[in-house]
Every structure is written in C-alpha cells, then in structure tokens.
C-alpha cells in the first residue's frame, strides 16, 4: 500500500513540476522538456555502497563512524527491504534553442 501511495504522490509531483517547468522553459528558449521517474534496481550491497558514497556519510564521517554507520545500515536493510528492490529516481531532459 505504501508503494502505491508513494508512486501516486511522486506522479502528482512530477506532473506539477512539468507544468511549471514547461511554462518557464518556453519563455527561456527551451524547445523540449521532459521530466520522468525511473526505477533503479539495487541490492542490499549496492544500496549500502550508494549511501556510503554520499557526501553526508563517506565524505564527512571518520573511518570509525563509517564502520558503525555501515553496520547499522546493513542491519536496517535486512529488516526493511528485500535483497533486490527498486528506488524511484527523478530524471529530466531538455532540448535548447541556440541563441
């Protein structure tokens, strides 16, 4: 149920963003603009690596703090997510007019 609600909310947000961006982009020389969501597949291992690479973890914590975070994160993933899962990401493309 939570996935359905999340998908609906994300869809509504994407539509609102599209309308606002279309109006603004058209004024500024954008010929085409498309925004969309895409499901990116992850495993526990790949998601842990992705989160660890974020500037809030790998770039700002000490080695000891990273180790503690990683242990806690892996435990959390084992409890809340299947081994393979998708994460919704936002994507956008635009075609510009040369001035």
pLDDT over 90 (residue 10) = no
Based on its alpha-carbon atoms, the radius of gyration of the chain, rounded to whole angstroms, reads: 19
Break the chain into its structural domains and give their ranges.
2-96
Confidence (pTM): 0.60
CA distance 80 to 44: 10
pLDDT for 46-79, tens place per residue? 999 999 998 889 889 999 999 999 999 999 999 9
């Amino acid at each position: 149920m939570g996935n359905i609600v999340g998908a609906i909310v994300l869809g509504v947000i994407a539509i609102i963003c599209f309308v606002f961006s279309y109006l603004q982009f058209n004024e500024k020389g954008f010929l085409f603009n498309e925004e969309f969501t895409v499901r990116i597949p992850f495993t526990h291992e790949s998601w842990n690596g992705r989160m660890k690479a974020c500037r809030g973890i790998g770039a700002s914590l000490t080695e000891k703090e990273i180790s503690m975070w990683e242990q806690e994160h892996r435990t959390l993933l084992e409890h809340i997510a299947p081994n393979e899962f998708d994460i919704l990401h936002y994507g956008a493309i635009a075609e510009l007019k040369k001035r």
